[in-house]
């Protein structure tokens, strides 16, 4: 209808948290798209678009298989107005033990998660042997050893052009690691 043609396109920015070991990967996989984080999100959001178009998600980075995230940024657009609470319910009920919507907001149409993220923070939880322990065959470094390996990377400009695809013309691919450190933490026992 003529009213549909004059609807404003909405661009949504999402911050999601997910438990990596419960999905096959972050990125959509042809063999089993519904078991990936992107696949779960696509299935959850698609009904909210009222059949007008397929959901297209853009993301600011991605994680490897099995890696969890607490604030992954994604964007998508819709020509159909979406109720924020319906969006939250759709995402949070899609895979409750895997995925949670932390925040959702409308952003300017020009914002794109992949190219709009100004910084990223990564936290890795790695198995390390305890100080003075030889358990685990001695292959795992101590936190102090990892910290020493990270120190030379801080402040050094690194070019990530080889990892990018579809970069906008003129996009700077050089970044500087502002902080890197390793410390020992104790995690509580649990199911995951």
Which residues, 6+ apart, have CB-to-CB distance to 53 below 8 Å?
A: 79
d(CA 153, CA 20): 27
Three-state SS across 121-182?
A: CCCCCCCCCCCCCCHHHHCCCCHHHHHHHHHHHCCCEEECHHHCCCCCCCCCCEEECCCCCC
| Both tokens assigned to 91 | 């995402």
- Active site positions, annotated: 64
């Amino acid at each position: 209808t003529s009213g549909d043609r004059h609807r404003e396109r909405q661009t949504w920015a999402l911050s999601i948290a997910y438990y990596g070991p419960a999905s096959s990967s972050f990125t959509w996989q042809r063999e089993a798209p519904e078991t990936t984080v992107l696949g779960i999100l696509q299935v959850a959001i698609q009904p909210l678009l009222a059949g007008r178009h397929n959901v297209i998600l853009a993301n600011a980075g991605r994680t490897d298989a099995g890696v969890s995230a607490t604030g992954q940024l994604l964007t998508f657009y819709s020509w159909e107005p979406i109720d924020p609470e319906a969006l939250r319910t759709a995402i949070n009920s899609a895979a409750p033990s895997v995925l949670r919507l932390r925040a959702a907001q409308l952003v300017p149409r020009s914002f794109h998660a992949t190219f709009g993220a100004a910084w990223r923070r990564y936290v890795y939880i790695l198995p390390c042997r305890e100080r003075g322990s030889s358990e685990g065959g001695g292959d795992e470094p101590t936190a102090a050893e990892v910290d020493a390996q990270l120190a030379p990377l801080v402040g050094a400009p690194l070019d990530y052009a080889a990892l990018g695809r579809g970069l906008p013309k003129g996009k700077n691919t050089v970044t500087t690691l502002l902080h890197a450190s390793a410390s020992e933490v104790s995690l509580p026992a649990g199911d995951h």
